[in-house]
Amino acid sequence: MTDKNTTLVPEQGWHCLHLFYHVEYGQWQLLNRDEQNVAKTNLAKIVQEVRAMDSTQLLTFSVVTPKADLGFMLITPDLQTANKIEKQLSLSLGADVLTPVYSYLSLTEESEYITTEAEYTETLDQETKRDPAKLEQALATFRDRMKHYRQERVYPTLPDWPVVCFYNMSKRRGEQRNWYALPYDERRKLMKGHAAVGRQYAGKVKQLITGSTGLDDAEWGVTLFARDTFQIKAIVYEMRFDPVSAEYADFGEFFIGIQLPLDELFRRLQL
């Protein structure tokens, strides 16, 4: 039997856990004011302690629409830690106050279709290719950019932008379209076009694509951050016309949340 203190840190990436709950207001009203204050203090303490952990981030948000009331997004290296935190959050306001309505587990990951140095070199003009100094300068810039990209994909820093959108997705297999039957080079070409659409929203939308094959029901979790809902709607709508989405993508349920500090979150949830 595995030692309960044994860490479960993946070879690459961090665990990402999305948690959505309904607040059982009938159960909450059974608590007196002192008990309610103790419960809210307990949740605040858990959030504070989690955010103080190394390489760990925890977002709190109010979910828009009655799909859920309260949402958390947790990123942490150790699966043991993620599991402990999830159990603490579920019971943080007291027994039977929070009812889980949706959850999703995934891992941060690097895209398999990332641009290689050789591919980037092919895009340079002939003058740059012929001049060793210019070529090295261009490649150095490219390496720095790719290093930053890898860092943000595999070991990201989550933004404090107010609007959070989460959904899962898979690549279609069967019928007339099977993503996994396509040759790698064709998949790579399609994904480059797909990424080009996303880059048009730089500074407006930040996205985190996390892998969930073998971990949850779909193949990826997609988290989008923005300052207003228009940008979320715009990027998802535009990407629907790209062949990767139009022909091969299957989307799960969408959740929209608003990031809030805990004191405002409690007021929003009328706790």
165 within 8 A of 254, measured Cβ to Cβ = yes
- Rounded to an integer, what distance in angstroms lies between the CA atom of residue 49 and that of residue 43? 10
Exposure on the CB side of residue 112, measured as CA atoms within 13 A: 7
Amino acid in the structure at residue 41: T
Catalytic annotation, pick one of 102, 167, 201, 248: 167
CA distance 147 to 140: 11
Tokens of 241: 């016309």
The strand pairing partners of 163, in sequence order, are 226, 258
Which position has the token pair 């092919």? 122
Please tell me the distance from the alpha carbon of residue 201 to that of residue 236, in angstroms, as a whole number.
Answer: 11
Residues 190 and 171: their CA atoms lie apart, in Å, by: 13
The DSSP-derived string for 33-47 is: HHHHHHHHHHHHHHH
For residues 242 and 193, the answer to whether their CB atoms sit within 8 Å is: yes
Count other Cβ atoms within 10 Å, centred on residue 221: 26
Q: Clarify whether 167 is annotated catalytic.
A: yes
Q: What is the set of active-site residues?
A: 167
